[in-house]
Chains A and B, each alone.
Chain A
Amino acid sequence: MYSDVVAFNLVQAVTQWLLTLVVCGGIALLVAVVLSISIGGLSGPSTIWMAVTRGVRDLVSMSPKRIGAIAGLTWKESFRRQDVLVGVVFVLLFMFAGWFLTSTDLDTPAKPYISFVLTAIRWLILPVALLLSCWGLPADIKGRSLHTVVTKPVRRSEVVLGRMVGYASIMTLGVVIMGLVGYVWIERQVPESARHQLVSRVPEYGRLTYLDRNGLPSLTALNVGDMWDYRGFVEGNTKAAAIFNFSDLDTDRLSASDQLQLEYRFEVFRSHKGDIDKSVQAQFMLVNEQSGLKVPYPRVPFEINEFADIQTRSAEDGGREPIITIPRQLTYTPEGELSSKTVDLFDDIIHDGTLTVQVRCVDPGQYLGAARTDLFIRLPDKPFAVGFFKAIFGTWMMAILVIVLGTTASTFVKGPVATLLTFALILTGLTLRPFMSEVLEQYRLSGAVEGGGMLESGYRMVTQMNTQVELPGGFLTDSIQWIDSQMLLGLLLLQNVIPDFTHFDMTPYVANGFDVPWNNSMMPGIATTLAFILPALILGYFCLQWRELEAK
């Protein structure tokens, strides 16, 4: 895993959701009122009021029976029109493409198989969900079969929701089948030597700080010239160390196995060639910050996995997993003493669910690079299937979201346009949204955006003024900056309206042999999908309601 794993803040997300809903609803209402007044004069607002109350009534009084009927119809439609054949063709395609897959990555030989299966399913499900949901309602309107339906006591919200449920159930079937096929395929395809990688590791990450070479605490460490500030490097054979602080450990559960597994993946930067046959060595120091107890472990420094193939080599050849297993009873010789002492890991070292692990590099002149996710406590593994099907669940949620968005889009535009619109939304959610978040985060933290907002950067470009130069003061600058800051508000709103599709990609976890964490990945995915269902339904309802089906 080469990026950080950040916990999802549900409370904040829900607040943001409510706020966005209120703001968007308010804007929509305002526009509607203004429009209605301009068209219908003073009676306009009362029309809007009636439409809104009727909308609320229609949304509240939806009948599961009618939704079920429409969902069932959707289901039949897709099967009878042989849409589903497309899915079958896809499955076949995917299976045959699979035969040609070979593993080239020595470090993680199972990874390509897992990545391939999950990515393939994802990109097969996506277009089917997109096309199904975007073309259904427009075809229904064009063929006027919807006319007959709405002359029955059917709320148009039921039409929208029924369609959504119908497509969702079709896609559920598709995802389940593809998931099972994919799973069996991985189980059979992955070579014997890589089978040990088919696990769902459950990591417990800590907080990372450093000690500099004089042993003083520091939030950062040396940068050895990488563009990316991801890892901090500590110098070997000095007082420098990377300090991992684990808290909230579930000691009861951990102590059940009478040992603690630490898994690491450090990087090495050599400032001189040194002994090229051996990896650079490191040592852990287990610390109880409360009592000041410090226990080095292992007693002899270990070679870190500096060379990529260390895991794939056989055990006789020096190959091993990058895991240090700490037994419950630890024997060590305290500094300055001669006799050795034995302490209990869970009673003496771990205190109140907290454990501190200092990592030091042993070789002088060499550097050890550590990032927060480079060392973690490896909790008992879960079966591979757990992580795999969580990722499949992620794909399923993505499909649901696509269906929700596509169906909604298809209530106000025709099929091709709806498809394009939804696809654009997905692409934006995948690519542009992270950038938007970055800009907004920068603004939130520093109160300014590097290079300025849209107008400011345009101004700088035209006047060839570089970003370091202060803008000349005065009215123009003030107004430019004011407009830019207002635009940021718009950007904030836009960011909240565009679903974050990156949440649904759980492939990196599974492909790297991790379980999909609930807090960081499952919950945001579920929250994102849920967040869009209600607003989409409301939007779809009003669009369909205010659309004269006949007058196309």
Chain B
Amino acid sequence: MEKALIWVHGDCLSPHNPALLAQPSAPALWVWDEALLASYGVTLKRIVFIYECLLELPVHIRRGEVATELLHFAEEHGATHILTTGSPSPRFAEICARLEQRYPVEVLPGPPFLSGGGRYDLKRFARYWARAQHHAFGDSG
């Protein structure tokens, strides 16, 4: 039987995040990335803010090495695959790559800001905006 585990990370702390919505009854986990906290020297106020976000979500909260903790948790719950929401962070990609050695990982896209897909010229904001402004005002745009 298919059994999902949801990975909640720092770019998707809404109860409406696509992974939580897709599998409302699946166990979900947040892991405090201890190496990241230390390397950034993150202060307590940022941790409190994120923790308050977590307290409104149906997640287990742990700390340590993110991929390792996720793999333990997946084993404990007999998960068959891992579901999460996308992030541009390279660390996110690294963690996904480690998880994929053991489980299939499905990454759902977050809600798009622009209605028009495709590639944008990112050399300068002005170039991006020249095209993006036609897609930035939602369906009415």
* A and B held together in a complex: no
Q: Hey, which bits of chain A sit against chain B, CB under 8 A?
A: none
Residues of B within 8 A of A (CB): none
